[in-house]
Amino acid sequence: MAAIVMNPIGTICTPYRTVEEMPIQPIGAAAAQGKIVLEAAYAEGLDDIEGFSHLILIYQFHRAKGFDLKVKPFLDDQVHGLFATRAPRRPNPIGLSVVPLLRREGNLLWVGAIDVLDGTPLLDIKPFVPDFDAPAVTSIGWLTGKKRQAEKVRSDRRFAPSG
């Protein structure tokens, strides 16, 4: 299989300088604001983005190294399969967050509810459209009843590179 090459289109700037400060999901970052600095070459691609209240940010977990196929996630004390979690150490360390768009100025986007580390490489931006992106959900597996925890839990070193 051929290699997949992706180049960052910008950088996500946030108040979180360390893993331990960072919320584990946007729901735990309701008051946090961040700034997207899009490379100038891509600024024209932001035209008309102001019409959307929320954006999907796709980014690289740039500090994550390696992965385990069984992990103990932040919101449970049981081990689960990696792909049944949102753990950052993955075969392809790609993250996704849905955030409110607060404003745009040229190649800069201010967003709310940001839950990523400062300096995170941005791979893509897509508008969030509820009719397309929010199907009726009937089951959330082992995460049932864990929403309140996600609002309060902060990251820790459990997914830090080993060795």
For position 160, what pLDDT does the model report?
Answer: 62
Three state DSSP letters for the chain? CCCCCCCCCEEEECCCCCHHHCECCHHHHCCCEEEEEECHHHHHHHCCHHHCCEEEEEEECCCCCCCCCEECCCCCCCCEEHHHCCCCCCCCCEEEEEEEEEEEECCEEEEECCCCCCCEEEEEEEECCHHHHCCCCCCCHHHCCCHHHHHHCECCHHHCCCC
On the question of pLDDT at 57 being above 70, the answer is: yes
* Residue 81 bridge partners (DSSP): 70
Share of the chain above pLDDT 70, in %: 88
| pLDDT higher at 150 or 120 | 120
For position 159, what pLDDT does the model report?
Answer: 59
Instruction: Read off φ and ψ for residue 44, nearest 5 degrees.
Output: -60, -25
Residues 100-135: tens digit of each pLDDT: 999 999 999 999 999 999 999 999 999 999 989 887
In a domain, 74, yes or no: yes
- Range 37-65 average pLDDT: 96
For position 136, what pLDDT does the model report?
Answer: 80
Total tally of structural domains belonging to the chain: 1
Q: What is the mean pLDDT of the chain?
A: 89
The CATH code of the domain that includes 70 is: 2.40.30.70
Share of the chain above pLDDT 90, in %: 60
Q: Whose CA is closest to 119, among 44, 35, 28, 20?
A: 35
Place of tokens 């035209």: 47
For position 145, what pLDDT does the model report?
Answer: 74
Question: CB-hemisphere CA count at 13 Å for 15?
Answer: 12
- Range 75-100 average pLDDT: 92
For position 163, what pLDDT does the model report?
Answer: 44
Supply the range of the domain harboring residue 78.
10-157
In a domain, 25, yes or no: yes
In a domain, 136, yes or no: yes
